[in-house]
Amino acid sequence: MKKLLIATTNPGKVIEYRVILKDLPIELVTLKDAGIKDGVEEDGNSFEENAIKKVKFYSKFVDFPALAEDAGLEIDYLNGEPGVKTRRWLGRESSDEELINLTIEKLKGVPPEQRGAQLKTVIALNINGKINTFEGIIRGIIMEKPIEKIIMGYPFRSLFYIPKIKKVLGELSMEEEAEFAHRKQAVEKALPLIKQYYLC
């Protein structure tokens, strides 16, 4: 079976990719599976730059295709913040609780109709040295306070309400989210290339 490196250290994202790609004959290999312990600095000015940088870096360790991504939250009222600096919004690597509290504080008193936001994922797919990028976006509203359940590594999911399904993203399992959210949208755009390589 042909392999695909999923270049992320986030176990939740690995679960999502397993769900999204479950119908294809692909062996998904994690960084841990491949024995890759090195990391890369995410200092790009956009999700796309970071995704490309990561896939180039991790592709050096394997002789099969690799997929990397960068993702984050963009809040309309804050002109797209935190954006590419999502995890480092405070100027340093921040805890989930710190990021939730900062979001609440920055939007204090802002009415519901101005609390629109989007979660964006850009994936970079490297097949035979050629890199292509694909984007996925899901729109929602930032709640005034988080739900009780906070998913480690995904702080904004406890605040991100999706009117379409009348639920906060954090109320869904990773498997449920993988069926429709931003990551799936990005992968679906990449599917023609993925199928061309893996089904030939």
Distance of alpha carbon 158 from the chain centroid: 15
pLDDT at 57: 98
Q: Is the pLDDT of residue 83 over 90?
A: yes
pLDDT at 192: 95
pLDDT at 150: 85
Question: What's the pTM?
Answer: 0.91
Annotated domain spans of the chain: 2-198
- The residues annotated as belonging to the active site are 70
pLDDT tens profile 154-163: 899 999 999 9
- How deeply is 51 buried, as exposed, middle or buried, from its count of CB atoms within 10 A (0-12, 13-18, 19+)? buried
At residue 194, φ and ψ (nearest 5 deg) are -60, -45
User: Per CATH, which fold does 2-198 belong to?
Assistant: Maf protein (3.90.950)
pLDDT at 86: 85
Model confidence at 152, pLDDT cuts 50, 70, 90, reads confident
pLDDT at 23: 93
pLDDT tens profile 92-117: 888 999 999 999 999 999 999 999 99
